[in-house]
């Protein structure tokens, strides 16, 4: 069985009493993942997204998730502490662009991870993505992100709590 890390968006739906509820989009696949013998856990990050670890499912199940619009599978084939040097330049650029889309300034990414993601590890990228998030609130018509900046759980803590 396989494990993978994804960036997955939150969606807003109406709850039972007409109130908006933010739900991690992968929740709609929970039944399929459990039926396959797997499970998932998340860390909320910037950009109305979460880092999601999916474990205990087949590569076919992971391929199904890869095809979901808005989901980004993070490069994990070599383990947490191997550099991302085996990614192509286009793949590294796409990963950096995805991190920028979450709300991290390019200057911050470069100051922390350098100019070449091929020189950093998946662990470093996961830690960077999980540096902070902004607390959301419902303003009566939409979810807005103007609350305090908080430090989410670290990927290392999630990994310790939710091992392969």
pLDDT band at 142; cut points 50, 70, 90? confident
Distances in Å between the Cα of 137 and the Cα atoms of 13, 33, 59, 67, 113 are 14, 29, 36, 30, 31
- Dist. CA 31–CA 112, nearest whole Å: 38
Q: What is the mean pLDDT of residues 97-126?
A: 96
Give the whole-angstrom CA distance, residue 127 versus residue 43.
11
Q: Which residue has the tokens 């939150």?
A: 10
pLDDT digits (tens, 9 = 90+) for 41-73: 999 999 999 999 999 999 999 999 999 999 999
CB 137 within 8 A of CB 143: yes
| Backbone CA torsion sign across 101, 106, 112, 116 | positive
CA 78 to chain centre: 18
Q: What string of DSSP letters covers 84-122?
A: GGGS-HHHHHHHHHHHHHHT--HHHHHHHH-S-GGGSBH
Only one residue has tokens 């040097």, namely: 85
- What dihedral angle (degrees, nearest 10) is formed by the CA atoms of 85, 89, 95, 100? 120
Q: Percentage of residues in the chain with pLDDT exceeding 90?
A: 77
């Amino acid at each position: 069985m396989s494990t993978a890390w994804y960036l997955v968006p939150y969606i807003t739906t109406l709850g039972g009493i007409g109130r908006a509820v933010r739900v991690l989009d992968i929740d709609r696949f929970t039944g399929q993942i459990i039926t396959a013998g797997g499970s998932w856990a998340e860390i909320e990050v910037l950009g109305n997204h979460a880092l999601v670890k999916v474990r205990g499912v087949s590569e076919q199940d992971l391929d199904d998730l890869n095809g979901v619009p808005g989901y980004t599978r993070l490069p994990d084939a070599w383990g947490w502490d191997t550099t991302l040097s085996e990614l192509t330049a286009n793949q590294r650029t796409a990963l950096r662009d995805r991190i920028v889309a979450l709300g991290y300034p390019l200057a911050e990414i470069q100051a922390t991870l350098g100019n070449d993601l091929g020189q950093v590890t998946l662990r470093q990228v996961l830690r960077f993505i999980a540096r902070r998030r902004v607390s959301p609130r419902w303003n009566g018509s939409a979810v807005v992100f103007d609350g305090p900046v908080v430090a989410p759980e670290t990927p290392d803590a999630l990994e310790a709590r939710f091992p392969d």
